[in-house]
Chains A and B, each alone.
Chain A
Amino acid sequence: SQQGEEDPQALSIQEGENATMNCSYKTSINNLQWYRQNSGRGLVHLILIRSNEREKHSGRLRVTLDTSKKSSSLLITASRAADTASYFCATDVSGGYNKLIFGAGTRLAVHP
């Protein structure tokens, strides 16, 4: 079963615009992570936010976490065509063996 749900399922924007993806989850977590996957390839880790953190930045990425609402958002600023990929949130569930549970992903298309 998948604990995370991303919204929207698909997003199409122009280069230079910002892209925002949301993730909701169901149970308590140790941390939440975002990954990118280019078509037919493996996943690449983007950023990790711990349960006691509210916001984190990495380059053009900004992640927020609201544990009271069990939700997170990923903002990509000044998007580029190379950002075109699927983006997944993954939760490290409390009490587990630190295995990640992934959502179904958001497919982002950035047009030149």
Chain B
Amino acid sequence: DTGVSQDPRHKITKRGQNVTFRCDPISEHNRLYWYRQTLGQGPEFLTYFQNEAQLEKSRLLSDRFSAERPKGSFSTLEIQRTEQGDSAMYLCASSPTRGDYGYTFGSGTRLTVV
């Protein structure tokens, strides 16, 4: 297993367009998390899945944001009608279900909305 993969690494889009990011977690990990990070700040929690169930969504996740994890494997994060304020690094992480474990993060998708 090569860790958590995110695709694409970079995305430049025009304001108003829709974008979709993909995350492939470590296969044995049941938990999957999405975070958003802006320059000079720490990651901010967006949403969390255990298997295919989305258990928590942050208030940061407006109606324009949706995340899915069909079949409890990979996950997608879609942003509709992008705004310049959506420009950020979107990070995916996974962890095992039980026990005190750290997260394994992907390298992130950097979104630039122009």
Chain B contributes a number of interface residues (CB within 8 A of A) equal to 28
Q: What 0/1 readout, one digit per residue, does chain A (75-105) give for beta carbons within 8 Å of chain B?
A: 0000000000000101010000111111111
A sample of 11 inter-chain contacts (CB < 8 A) reads A33-B103, A40-B89, A42-B107, A42-B108, A43-B91, A43-B93, A48-B101, A50-B100, A88-B43, A99-B48, A101-B45
Which residues of B are at the interface with A, using a C-beta cutoff of 8 A? 4, 31, 33, 35, 40-45, 48, 50, 55-56, 89, 91, 93, 95, 100-108, 110
Q: Is the CB–CB distance between B44 and A48 below 8 Å? A: no
Q: What 0/1 readout, one digit per residue, does chain A (24-49) give for beta carbons within 8 Å of chain B? A: 00000011010100001111111010
User: Which residue of A is nearest B46, CB measured?
Assistant: A99
Interface residues on A, range: 20 to 34
A interface residue numbers (CB < 8 A to B): 2, 4, 30-31, 33, 35, 40-46, 48, 50, 88, 90, 92, 97-105
Contact of A100 among B45, B50, B89 (CB under 8 A): B45
| Inter-chain pairs besides A98-B31, A105-B41, 15 sampled, C-beta below 8 Å | A40-B110, A41-B107, A42-B106, A42-B107, A42-B108, A43-B103, A43-B105, A46-B102, A48-B101, A50-B100, A98-B95, A99-B45, A102-B35, A102-B44, A104-B40
Nearest chain-A residue to B31 (Cβ)?
A: A98
